Amino acid sequence: MATDVSTLHHAPAKQRRGWLEWITTVDHKKIGIMYAVTAFLFFVIGGLEALLIRLQLGSSQNAILTPEAYNQVFTMHGTTMVFMAIMPVNAGFMNYFVPLMIGAGDMAYPRMNAMSYWLLLFGGIVMYSSFVFGGGAPDAGWFAYAPLTSTTYSVTRGMDYWVLGLQLLGVSSLAGSVNIIVTIIRLRAPGMRFNRMPLFVWMSFVTSFLLIFALPSITVGITLLFFDRNFGTNFFLPAAGGDPLLWQHLFWFFGHPEVYIMILPAFGVVSEMLPVFSRKPIFGYEFVAYSGVAIGVLGFTVWAHHMFATNLGVIADTFFAAASMLISVPTGVKIFNWLATLWRGELRFKTPMLFSLGFIAMFVIGGISGVSLAAAPFDLQVTDSYFVVAHFHYVLFGGAVFALFGAAYYWFPKITGKMMSERIGKWHFWILLLGFNLTFFPQHMLGLQGMPRRVWTYQQNQGWDFYNLLSTIGSFCIALATLVFIVNFIISLRKGAPAGNDPWDAATLEWATTSPPPAHNFDVEYIVHSRRPLWDNKYSGEGRGMTINYDFHPHLPPPSFAPIIFSFGLFVLAYGMLNLASAPLIGIPIILVALAIAFVGMNRWVGEIAQDPVL
């Protein structure tokens, strides 16, 4: 096959060896791997927190956790899963595959890319160090409603760690989004027009814009919160005329688009996997792509549906109910297009396909409960109850996590050069599907039976014991499934069958290079002529999907210490800020040291750019 160009070789840039290779890398693929592995570790930590929650709620009036511990655990579960698990797994896949799918050699800003990763890791460490140094983890929920977050009601330093951890994670996401957008706009292979881009690239593009528009709102919110907690301001403190409702608007103006930030990349990978395993093109490419854009735009007009219970008034209730229901239209379009993609296909039930089909089946349940939550009066009954917990887990677990596990099976061969075990993979899928439904379906009933969210316990006479027990059993099935995945991952990494370049008989450019790809991704330049360049070359005739430009000289920036040094400076800065108000004599020197470290990093960075024009 002429697309196999592994025999051609260009001299790679100077590489460091061992762990230094990872510390200094600016290769989007290594960074993508670090993102995904780190995010998976946080997923496991968040999952263990979930098990603690389920253990405590497994029966009424349990005392496995104290209320204080429970409140910390559920706060960290939400925060971890949203900011440190799902978002960075998405970022990891985007990092690895957006450049490959558009035929690029790297991200637009390789060093900034490394910085984004390090800030994720450091942000997570800041947040979790609150258990050790903060006198307790954050305990006001991932939504952190004022004035519960004030020093009067949240007496540990936990919320300060939460704010500073989120700031680092926010910078990480913002830089990552800019990077993805510029990469997509600037580095597409010749002929890779926007309407030829793989749908995962489309969704990454939309997601990145959502992040850029949504993040400032929470950044402002947490900055004001930090001032309230440390410097005596009263933005959210009602006793001094501040407004706690302001926090809710700032939070949800970010928080609702955040839902789409988590789910759109999942829509993207499913839109890649379903066609490949149906051996057909996606049905209605334009509808799928543009409905993603529509969801992104509409996503900014619905935030107050999280606030129906705050007495917004009839006009606001009506508007936000209508806008929220409108989102069901582009979402419904996507589901129908996915189903039509299967129709008259030749379906191959490999593990990624099982997860994609599971995704559709589960996500639609979350979609249905979502539309009903948009009906404001019904929301007044079930909001802040376990019905909502069930709803968003069907969206974010049944939706995003299923799709991302599918993506892991789909792309593992490309990343490692080895196949994952299909047999173990199928066990993983079926145990997860069972455990997931057992955990979350009963929570719909609990919500309808009046069980509020975020309660550390409940009484026996409430009649909630049975469904809670089912849910707890289910959560351990999920844990077992995750364990099966880890086993599969380790075994396959060691003994997996060789993958070859294109194990799934796929359509997009990442499968046109070796597995794993060389540092510079492609030895030649592809000139793209269709939406499915690889497929069309295989099935429509050589040169129909893409042609090759052999006169191609990839350029990669050398490894760099600058990103990690700079990020480390910001990491130290967070601890300086933590002490600034409470112990300025400690805080100010730490801040000065932190700024010096960051300056050293920046200085190096600028110097490297001067020698090497890649940013």
Question: Does an H or E element contain 445, and which?
Answer: helix 422-448
Closest distance between another protein and the C-beta of residue 221, in Å? Answer: 16
Nearer to another protein, 36 or 250 (CB): 250
Catalytic residue among 16, 249, 279, 453: 453
C-alpha 115/C-alpha 121 separation (Å) is: 10
Is 396 within 8 Å of 263 (Cβ atoms)? yes
**Residue 483 binding another protein, by CB under 8 A:** no
Shortest CB 123 distance to another protein, Å: 24
Residue tagged active-site, from 256, 428, 444, 520: 256
H or E element that contains 182: helix 158-186
By the rule CB under 8 A, 380 interacts with another protein: yes
Kindly name the residue from 30, 77, 196, 350 that is annotated as catalytic: 77
Q: Which of 13, 212, 293, 340 binds another protein (CB under 8 A)?
A: 340
Smallest distance, another protein to C-beta of residue 230, A: 19
Instruction: Give the CB-side neighbour count of residue 518, counting CA atoms within 13 A.
Output: 20
Q: Is 215 in the site for another protein (CB under 8 A)?
A: no
Q: Is 281 in the site for another protein (CB under 8 A)?
A: yes
The verdict on 318 binding another protein (CB under 8 A) reads yes
451 lies in the site for another protein, by CB under 8 A: yes
Instruction: Determine if 368 is a binding residue for another protein (CB under 8 A).
Output: yes
Q: Is 378 in the site for another protein (CB under 8 A)?
A: yes
Using the rule CB under 8 A, is 500 a contact of another protein?
A: no
Of the two residues 162 and 575, which places its CB atom closer to another protein in the complex?
162
Site for another protein, residues 558 to 597, rule: CB under 8 A = none
* Shortest distance (Å) from residue 436 CB to another protein: 12
- Tell me, yes or no, if 271 is annotated catalytic: yes
142 is catalytic: yes
d(CA 64, CA 216): 39
- The span from the CA of 400 to the CA of 500, in Å, is 28
Nearer to another protein, 340 or 487 (CB): 340
For residues 152-191, which are near another protein according to CB under 8 A?
152-154
Exposed / middle / buried, residue 423 (Cβ in 10 Å: 0-12, 13-18, 19+): exposed
Please tell me which residue in 149, 204, 271, 351 is annotated as part of the active site: 271
306 is catalytic: yes
Among 37, 41, 187, 434, binds another protein (CB under 8 A): 434
In contact, 372 and 351? CB cutoff 8 Å: no
Subset of 69-128 contacting another protein (CB under 8 A):
71
In angstroms, give the least distance from the CB of 281 to another protein. Answer: 5
Does 145 participate in binding another protein (rule CB under 8 A)?
A: yes
> Is 324 part of the annotated catalytic residue set?
no
Q: Where are the alpha helices (DSSP H) in 581-615?
A: 584-611
The single residue among 6, 462, 582, 603 that binds another protein, judged by CB under 8 A, is 462
Among 426, 476, 519, 600, binds another protein (CB under 8 A): 426
Largest CA distance in the chain: 76
Least distance to another protein, CB of residue 138, Å? 13
Q: Does 458 engage in binding with another protein (CB under 8 A)?
A: yes
Q: Count Cβ atoms below 10 Å from residue 143 Cβ, excluding itself.
A: 17
What gap in Å lies between CA 500 and CA 495, rounded to an integer? Answer: 15
> Which contacts (CB < 8 Å, 24+ apart) does range 540-549 have?
542/2, 546/3, 546/191, 546/509, 546/512, 548/2, 548/3, 548/5, 548/524, 549/190, 549/524, 549/525
Active site residue 77: yes
- Confirm whether 260 is a catalytic residue: yes
Q: By CB under 8 A, tell whether 438 contacts another protein.
A: yes
Please select the residue that binds another protein; options are 377, 495, 553, 610, rule is CB under 8 A.
377
| Active site (annotated) includes residue 204 | no
Which 3 state secondary structure label does DSSP give 498?
A: strand
493 contributes a contact to another protein by CB under 8 A: no
- Rounded to a whole number of angstroms, the minimum distance from the CB of residue 278 to another protein is 7
486 binds another protein (CB under 8 A): no
Q: Which SS3 state, helix, strand or coil, does residue 237 take?
A: coil
Give the strand pairing for 546-549 and 525-528.
antiparallel
- The reply on whether position 8 binds another protein by CB under 8 A is no
CA distance 166 to 381: 32
Residue 326 beta carbon to another protein: minimum distance, rounded to whole angstroms: 6
Give which of 89, 68, 87, 67 is closest to 79, Cα–Cα. Answer: 87
Radius of gyration, CA atoms only, the chain: 24
Residues of span 219-278 touching another protein by CB under 8 A: 238-239, 241-245, 278
- Report the sign of the C-alpha dihedral through residues 349, 416, 406, 506, in that order: negative
Cβ pair 373, 379 in contact under 8 A: yes
- Is there a cis peptide before residue 147, judged by omega within 30 degrees of 0? yes
Which span sits near another protein by CB under 8 A: 64-72, 108-116, 179-187, 595-603? 64-72
Q: With CB under 8 A as the contact rule, which of the stretches 28-36, 150-158, 189-197, 249-257 interacts with another protein?
A: 150-158
Query: Should residue 67 be labelled a site residue for another protein when binding is judged by CB under 8 A?
Result: yes
Name the active-site residue from 142, 303, 409, 575.
142
- Any contact of residue 332 with another protein (CB under 8 A)? yes
One-letter amino acid at 521 equals N
Four-residue CA torsion sign, 424, 94, 435, 335:
negative
CB atoms within 10 A of CB 586: 14
Taking the C-alpha atoms of residue 199 and residue 283, their distance in angstroms, rounded to an integer, is 12
Which of 391/414 has CB closer to another protein?
391
- Total of chain residues touching another protein, rule CB under 8 A: 105
Q: Determine if the peptide bond prior to 516 is cis (ω within 30°).
A: yes
The crossing angle, in degrees rounded to 10, of helices 199-230 and 285-298 is: 10
Q: Does 497 bind another protein (CB under 8 A)?
A: no
Q: Is 542 in the site for another protein (CB under 8 A)?
A: no
Report the residue number, 22 or 430, with the smaller CB distance to another protein: 430
Is 279 a binder of another protein (CB under 8 A)? Answer: yes
Q: Answer for the pair 164, 574: CB distance below 8 angstroms, yes or no.
A: yes
Q: In sequence order, what are the beta bridge partners of 526?
A: 548
186 catalytic, yes or no?
no
Q: How near is the Cβ of 346 to another protein at its closest, in Å?
A: 4
Determine whether 334 is an active site residue: yes
Render 7-57 in DSSP notation, one character per residue.
Answer: T---PPPP---HHHHHHS---HHHHHHHHHHHHHHHHHHHHHHHHHHHHHH
Of 593-612, which residues contact another protein (CB under 8 A)?
A: none
Report, as residue numbers or ranges, the catalytic residues. 77, 106, 142, 172-173, 256, 258, 260, 271, 305-306, 331, 334, 453
